[in-house]
Amino acid sequence: MVFLSGSTQPANDSLRFFAQKRGIGIGAAVAIRPLRKDSSYRTVLAREFNMLTPENVMKFKPIHPERDRYDFVAPDTLVDFAKRHDMQVRGHTLVWYQSEPDWLTANKWTREELMTILREHINTVVSHYRGQLVAWDMMNEAIADNASLRDTIWLKTIGQDYIELAFRWAHEADPKVRLFYNDYDSEGLGAKSDAIYALVKDLRQRDVPIHGVGLQMHVSINNPPNPEDVAANIKRLNDLGLEVQITEMDVRIGSGTENLEQRLAQQAAVYRNMMRVCLEAENCTAFVVWGLSDRHSWIPSHYNQPDLPLIFDKSFRPKPAYEALIEELQRM
Ligand code: G3I
């Protein structure tokens, strides 16, 4: 599947150069603060990637902070940067239980009221970016860790058809953008990925406009995803006519300095294996890392310990994981 045909010529030793040759998107999650303040960040981003995902600024809470107010300043900055550097943008995300503003959660809504709120939100945000994004993580993490539907405000008040309604409303607002279901801990085979498969199969069978599944891929060297399982999962989604993208990859190596070199090599192998699986699958169209350099990853504060999960170090120097991705992209 040919994915990109950028007009500017990327540096011929960059990730984006080799990814373009292989016809896949290579992306990074972008945080607004370093994008505004750090020229090294901007340089590496534009040189190495042909796609970006806003890490936070398109989420419900920041983009729709009050019932009747939207804030597009930061996400517009990001989309402008992408345009200037011939990069595609994945929108992230329209419906996610972790980014709900207080005005939404503090009130008791009727089903009709909440449907109106969700429809207006989706319509306003998707319309604002109509024609400018390649994909939206339309629905994020709607399946819980126990493989049942996650108990969110939307499920409780609207009922389980909130999922299909959301896809339909987004498609009405921008019929060309690819709409994804995106989740974690479901890259390979297992109860949660089976539940996601069943959900998206049902949506496809009923002609709900869903186009892809995002495999987030927040993983660790201690328990890496099994490449055969990931390939099998991507294949069964292909059989449903769905595209797949690796949407948020990072690989934890744990803290401590002992055997750092060895752990970075293990990390490189995990990145390499997942890139290989993606390249070998006919429906895997993009590979996105969740942050640019170890300086800005969400992992250390979330797990409350240092880590080095990304492909550039804190000084933006390429790590073994970067070299592994370059090699894998060059391997025919
Ligand atoms: O926006 C406020 C800012 O005003 C304030 O100054 C700052 C002080 O701490 O907090 C800011 O909000 C933080 C935001 O990141 C922006 O930095 C939130 O507290 C923090 O919780 C938030 O974390 C993000 C998290 O999602 C929750 O939205 C992470 O950066 C981001 O990497 C993470 O990404 C998620 C994906 O969206 C979905 N999949 C899982 C992935 C990892 O959790």
Condensed to tens digits (0 to 9), the pLDDT of residues 107-129 reads 999 999 999 999 999 999 999 99
Told to judge if 228 belongs to the known catalytic residues of this protein, a careful annotator would answer no
pLDDT bucket at 93, cuts 50 / 70 / 90: very high
> How many secondary structure helices (H) and strands (E) does the chain include?
14, 9
Backbone angles phi, psi at 255, to 5 degrees: -100, 180
Assess whether pLDDT exceeds 80 at residue 5. no
Kindly state whether residue 289 falls inside one of the protein's structural domains. Answer: yes
pLDDT bucket at 1, cuts 50 / 70 / 90: very low
pTM recorded for the entire structure: 0.96
pLDDT bucket at 7, cuts 50 / 70 / 90: very low
The Å distance, Cα 56 to ligand 1 centre, comes to 6
Kindly state whether residue 6 falls inside one of the protein's structural domains. Answer: no
CATH of the domain at 159: 3.20.20.80
Separation between Cα atoms, residue 254 and residue 238, nearest integer Å: 34
5, 16 in Cβ contact below 8 A? Answer: no
pLDDT bucket at 332, cuts 50 / 70 / 90: confident
Active-site hit among 141, 164, 187, 328: 141
Domain that holds residue 58: 15-330
Kindly state whether residue 113 falls inside one of the protein's structural domains. Answer: yes
Kindly state whether residue 3 falls inside one of the protein's structural domains. Answer: no
Closest residue to atom 23 of ligand 1, CA basis? 298
Our count of domains for the chain comes to 1
Predicted pLDDT of residue 8: 58
274, 287 in Cβ contact below 8 A? Answer: yes
Kindly state whether residue 2 falls inside one of the protein's structural domains. Answer: no
The Å distance, Cα 253 to ligand 1 centre, comes to 21
pLDDT in tens, 205-221: 999 999 999 999 999 99
Kindly state whether residue 72 falls inside one of the protein's structural domains. Answer: yes
Told to judge if 187 belongs to the known catalytic residues of this protein, a careful annotator would answer no
- Which of these, 6, 12, 5, 8, lies nearest to 329 by C-alpha position? 12
The Å distance, Cα 228 to ligand 1 centre, comes to 32
Give the tokens for residue 128: 């604002």
Kindly state whether residue 215 falls inside one of the protein's structural domains. Answer: yes
Mean pLDDT of 14-26: 97
DSSP state of 66: B
Give the tokens for residue 313: 């170090």
Kindly state whether residue 1 falls inside one of the protein's structural domains. Answer: no
Mutate to test the pocket of ligand 1, among 52, 53, 55 (most ligand atoms within 8 A of CB): 55
Predicted pLDDT of residue 81: 98
Assess whether pLDDT exceeds 90 at residue 106. yes
Predicted pLDDT of residue 176: 98
Give the tokens for residue 27: 């992306």
